[in-house]
Amino acid sequence: MAQFTVMGAGIFGLSAAWALARRGARVRVIEATRIGAGSSGGIVGALAPHVPENWNTKKAFQLDSLLMAEGFWAEVARISGRDPGYARLGRVQPLADQAAVTRARERGENARDLWQGRAEWRVVPVDQVPGMRLSSPTGLVVHDTLTARMRPRGAAEALVAALATKGVTVEIGGEPSGQVLWATGVQGLRDLGIGAGVKGQAALFRADFRAAPQLFAEALHVVPHADGTVAVGSTSEREYDSPDSTDAQLEALIDRVRALCPDLAQAPVIERWAGVRPRAPSRAPMLGAWPDRPGHFVLNGGFKIGFGMAPKLAELAADLLLEGWDQVPEGFRVSDNLARR
């Protein structure tokens, strides 16, 4: 049986390793420093769809992956005995004016068709949505039922434990053998000479709204988790001095969310986090052969949507490595990104 090595123990690498191992492949996972060392070790975990309009390949692919996620993570939880923190509880967004209400209702009509009847995008009075208090200038909000949450570190822990049941452990340091899948985040983009890292800062509050939908307002994701915390993020910084330190930008974000959500006004901040997310030139994830390196493949670039895209990308990576079956959409290919250099 062929040997496969997955380089990188972030969400893409671990999910792909799991997709390979569950099909019976011999897999090694090698990580340079620690599990979830990059953005996969963050705290926010919002699995949110793009708006249901101007439909394209990326949005359709994301929809498929988000719909796969519940089954994917339920299986990982069952086999690993660990809770990845997945729950599809939806998302609430305030509507600022009548134009926003009209646009939201149009998107709701689109969602009826585009989301295949498996989720809704609906306009409702703000007081009809349970959970954290949120003001809306119009008294109305969008409530979509597709958005889910994920505890990033819990997802990594569950995948590592599931892989262990297949005899796969994560090695810290080491040289690859066999066919190699490079899922190495920002460093992998640098090695290819494409893309860049975008720093994000986030905060974790002690506040128990575990059964509530998440909020999206003023470009902030406010995500309640099952452990009695609420994560808020993130900044988006193209230029930065230190990749993993927090600063005044995060303090300003904390002040904004306290003003936005009365239920967090007095809640203590128990963690401040910073990390760099891999952003490919296409802004879509990328998967495919590494040019001029036979037997080497790339899975990278999940900027802001990596956790939501991981279930389907993992299956496509397994198809490609095990069967040579290339189902990678246009725009997601490594060559598409190299052409943008």
Q: Mind listing the pLDDT tens digit of every residue in the chain (341 residues)?
A: 678 999 999 999 999 999 999 999 999 999 999 999 888 999 999 999 999 999 999 999 999 999 999 999 999 999 999 999 999 999 999 999 999 999 999 999 999 999 989 999 999 999 998 889 888 999 999 999 999 999 999 999 999 999 999 999 999 999 999 999 999 999 999 999 987 899 999 999 999 999 999 999 999 999 999 999 999 999 999 999 999 999 999 999 999 999 999 999 999 999 999 999 999 888 889 999 999 899 999 999 988 899 999 999 999 999 999 999 999 988 899 888 887 77
Beta strands in the chain (DSSP E): 3-7, 26-31, 46-47, 91-94, 121-125, 140-144, 148-149, 170-172, 179-182, 196-206, 214-217, 220-224, 229-233, 269-279, 286-289, 296-300
User: Rounded distance, CA 203 to CA 251, Å?
Assistant: 9
Q: Supply the pLDDT for residue 282.
A: 85
Q: Supply the pLDDT for residue 118.
A: 95
Q: Supply the pLDDT for residue 238.
A: 92
User: Rounded distance, CA 325 to CA 221, Å?
Assistant: 36
| CB contact at 8 A, 192 and 301 | no
Bridge partners (DSSP) of residue 230 are 205, 224
Q: Supply the pLDDT for residue 331.
A: 86
* CA-to-CA separations, 132 to 48, 86, 91, 262, in angstroms, rounded: 18, 19, 11, 8
What's the Rg (C-alpha) of the chain? 20
User: Rounded distance, CA 177 to CA 58, Å?
Assistant: 32
Q: Supply the pLDDT for residue 316.
A: 97
How many residues are given for the chain?
Answer: 341
Q: Supply the pLDDT for residue 1.
A: 61
Which pTM was predicted?
0.95
Query: Count of alpha carbons within 13 Å of 80, Cβ hemisphere only?
Result: 24
- H/E stretch holding 330 reads none
Q: Supply the pLDDT for residue 302.
A: 86
Of 331, 4, 328, 306, the closest CA to residue 155 belongs to 306
Report DSSP state, residue 328.
P
